[in-house]
Amino acid sequence: MKAVPAPLIGLAALTVLSGCTEAAPDPRGVDRDETVLTVTGTGRAEATPDQALFTAGLSSIAADAQAASTRNAETMHKITAALGRLNIPERDIQTRNLSVNRIDYGANKGRYEASNSVAVRVRDTKRVSDALAAVTAAGANIVSGPNLSVADPEKANLGAYDLAYKAARAKADAYAAAANLRVARVLSIRDGGQGGYMPPIGEMDARIAAPPPVVAPQAEQGPPVLAGTNTGIVTVRVDFALQAR
């Protein structure tokens, strides 16, 4: 019989041993008698908006750019002053548009149009109507909004995470029962974040057909603003270990 060199004998032994070695353990700690099930759950939480955002501005037409801009500047100062009298701080008023354009069509051809607008954040939804009335009384002829929202959506959604996990667990129990198994333990929980957002009705309507800015009437009393509720949606992904009953 032909002799086998020593290095080859060692290599053969290692090959046999490696074939007998057990597979590496599952990093999640799954036992041999367990089956892994991954499910997702969704939770919803309703919250009453506590802030509103709207835009207010002015469009003026004059014979030249300087006259149109001057007219707008005077009125915009009145608008911001009116907001100040409502104790809306400067940090909640942001300029959004400053433009002057020559009109090249229609009855005003050859004249100039100046447009200015500011975005206003009102941190008390009960005061939105007063703010709208104030800006229109000050001379704003273009107003759009308000967009009602929750200032701290993460805090508002805390209750939804509990519901999301319970929904995932209910799914796992249903799957386990169908397979004649039971949920033994939880292997991992992964936050799916805000997988969706259910906007307020007004925002959904705007997405369907965004209307042009509303030309605001001069009024001493603003229209009623109803806060309603917004719905936040969160998701969670959970790995369960299932065992035989």
- What CATH number does residue 242 fall under? 3.30.110.170
Q: Indicate whether 80 and 143 sit together in one domain.
A: yes
Q: Indicate whether 123 and 167 sit together in one domain.
A: no
Residue 14 CA: distances (Å) to CA of 1, 18, 21, 25: 23, 6, 11, 21
pLDDT of residue 228: 83
Evaluate whether residue 56 is within a structural domain: yes
Evaluate whether residue 1 is within a structural domain: no
Kindly report the pTM of this predicted structure.
0.66
Cα–Cα distance, 176 to 178 (Å, whole number): 5
pLDDT of residue 22: 55
Q: Which residue has the tokens 């057990």?
A: 22
pLDDT of residue 229: 85
What are the tokens at 30? 């799954």
Residue 226 CA: distances (Å) to CA of 34, 59, 91, 213: 53, 28, 24, 20
What are the tokens at 182? 């039971």
Handedness of CA 154, 160, 162, 164 (dihedral sign): negative
Q: Indicate whether 116 and 206 sit together in one domain.
A: no
Q: Is the peptide bond before 146 cis (omega within 30 degrees of 0)?
A: yes
Evaluate whether residue 98 is within a structural domain: yes
What are the tokens at 8? 């080859």
User: Are 133 and 221 contacting, i.e. CB atoms less than 8 angstroms apart?
Assistant: yes
Residue at a domain's end among 149, 174, 205: 149
pLDDT of residue 207: 39
- What CATH number does residue 133 fall under? 3.30.70.2970
What is the full per-residue pLDDT of the chain (245 aa) written as tens digits?
555 555 444 444 443 334 444 545 565 667 778 899 999 999 999 999 999 999 999 999 999 999 999 999 999 999 999 999 999 999 999 999 999 999 999 999 999 999 999 999 999 999 999 999 999 999 999 999 899 999 888 888 888 999 999 999 999 999 999 999 999 999 999 998 764 444 444 443 443 333 344 444 444 566 788 788 888 899 999 999 999 98
Domains contained in the chain, number = 2
pLDDT of residue 203: 44
Residue at a domain's end among 149, 172, 192: 149
Q: Which domain holds residue 237?
A: 27-49+151-214+228-245
Cα angle 229, 231, 237 (rounded to 5 degrees) comes to: 160
